[in-house]
């Protein structure tokens, strides 16, 4: 593994704006719907109302709520049937549903849970309980959607939020962007299933390295395909990347066919019917650092841009390589590769 550093320019900007979550309240009782809608609006949510399950389904064609608060007993279509219908449609199958009900018996709750209800509010309820259940249900749903189904690691949105939070905290941190070199030939020769094995192997290697790095805890993210991100203290970068590279290269060797692993390359068919040699996979890692008294970032996009640039530098080098942006002050702008 090698390390290096290069200079690049900052690009000031702003934190990503978050729109208020839209909650659909489905209830034929004007008093209850008004109470729920008013309290949600006061606490920053957008609210749209439907008077029964049928109207809610019709509104779903144009509205895209983040959550639905649904009464059990309604005319035309009750809350349980509405939930079943929502779960049956691809566009609404993951929509979280909180059921409003006067039914507190276990057997009634089982009926709702079987239909796909996420949580319950048993009447009468107060504002604090309403807000707590809405907020916690939305949070769980967002966290679930932001997790990679292949690796179980947080995805793009969660990675962005973590960088934004680190910038706001004003403490030292480093962002590493990891990419598997020559991953496409693996997919071309062995198929996507084997390719997924390489990705999950990298996730495991990165996780083991992060655990060994100790405190402060290292944040890990999987932003798609063979691209991963870690966020840590600058002092952790070198031991962290050294271990993940060593671990991954050893583990990846076991995923090749024995003959390919022995000779150190795979043969990739080309369009002319011949075969091209592709070396075994390695890792390219680009690192952007925000350090006290040194580089200052105003925008998470600038951090990501520098890490991406460093990854390109790493990919231009042979073998596994870690390129670290070390520029501190404008007066140091003439520094070159270290």
Q: Examine the fold and report which residue of 118, 145, 172 is the final residue of a domain before the chain moves on.
A: 145
Q: Examine the fold and report which residue of 115, 145, 175 is the final residue of a domain before the chain moves on.
A: 145
Q: 157 and 139, same structural domain?
A: no
pLDDT of residue 16: 44
Please tell me what DSSP assigns to residue 173: E
Look over the chain and give the mean of its residue pLDDT values, rounded to a whole number: 85
> How many CB atoms sit inside 10 A of residue 194's CB?
14
Q: How large is the angle between the packed helices 30-42 and 127-145, nearest 10 degrees?
A: 70
Q: Examine the fold and report which residue of 145, 160, 176 is the final residue of a domain before the chain moves on.
A: 145
Domain count across the chain: 2
| Residue 68 parent element (H or E) | strand 67-71
Residue 323 to residue 315: CA distance in whole angstroms: 9
Task: Phi first, then psi: give them for residue 319, nearest 5 degrees.
Answer: 70, -170
**Residue 227 domain-assigned?**
yes
Residue 258 to residue 237: CA distance in whole angstroms: 33
Q: Which residues of the chain have pLDDT under 70?
A: 1-18, 103-109, 292-295, 327-338
pLDDT of residue 2: 53
Q: 177 and 263, same structural domain?
A: yes
Q: 266 and 243, same structural domain?
A: yes
**Residue 4 domain-assigned?**
no
**Residue 1 domain-assigned?**
no
What domain range is 299 assigned to?
150-332
**Residue 2 domain-assigned?**
no
Q: Using one digit for the tens of pLDDT, what is the confidence trace for 119-171?
A: 988 888 889 999 999 999 998 888 777 788 889 898 888 899 999 999 999 88
**Residue 98 domain-assigned?**
yes
Q: 217 and 158, same structural domain?
A: yes
Q: Mapping DSSP to helix (H, G, I), strand (E, B) and coil, where does residue 298 land?
A: coil
Residue 264 belongs to domain with CATH number: 3.30.70.270
Residue 234 to residue 216: CA distance in whole angstroms: 11
Quote the tokens at residue 283.
């890792």
pLDDT of residue 104: 63
- pTM of model > 0.85: no
Residue 183 to residue 84: CA distance in whole angstroms: 42
């Amino acid at each position: 593994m090698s390390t290096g550093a290069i200079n690049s320019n900052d690009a000031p900007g702003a934190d990503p704006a978050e729109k208020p979550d839209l909650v659909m309240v489905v209830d034929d009782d004007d008093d209850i719907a008004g109470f729920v809608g008013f309290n949600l609006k006061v606490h920053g949510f957008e609210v749209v109302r439907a008077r029964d399950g049928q109207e809610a389904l019709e509104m779903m064609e144009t509205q895209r709520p983040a959550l639905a608060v649904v009464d059990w007993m309604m005319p035309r279509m009750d809350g349980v049937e509405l939930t079943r219908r929502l779960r049956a449609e691809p566009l609404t199958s993951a929509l979280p549903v909180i059921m409003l009900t006067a039914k507190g018996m276990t057997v009634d709750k089982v009926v709702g849970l079987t239909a796909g209800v996420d949580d319950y509010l048993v009447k009468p309820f107060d504002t604090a309980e309403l807000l707590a259940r809405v907020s916690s249900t939305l949070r769980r749903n967002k966290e679930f959607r932001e997790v990679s189904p292949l690796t179980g690691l947080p995805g793009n949105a969660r990675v962005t939020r973590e960088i934004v939070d680190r910038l706001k905290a004003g403490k030292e941190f480093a962002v590493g962007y990891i990419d598997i070199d020559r991953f496409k030939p693996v997919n071309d020769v062995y198929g996507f299933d084997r390719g997924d094995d390489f990705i999950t192997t990298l996730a495991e290697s990165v996780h083991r390295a992060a655990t060994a790095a100790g405190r402060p805890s290292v944040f890990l993210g999987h932003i798609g395909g063979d691209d991963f991100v870690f966020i840590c203290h600058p002092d952790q970068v070198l031991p962290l990347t050294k271990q993940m590279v060593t671990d991954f290269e050893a583990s990846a060797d076991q995923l090749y066919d024995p003959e390919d692993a022995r000779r150190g390359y795979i043969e990739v068919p080309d369009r002319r019917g011949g075969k091209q040699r592709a070396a075994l996979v390695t890792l390219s890692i680009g690192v952007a650092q925000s350090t006290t008294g040194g580089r200052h970032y105003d925008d998470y996009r600038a951090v990501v841009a520098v890490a991406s640039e460093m990854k390109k530098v790493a990919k231009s080098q042979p073998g596994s390589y870690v390129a670290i942006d070390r520029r501190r002050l404008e007066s140091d702008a003439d520094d070159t590769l270290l």
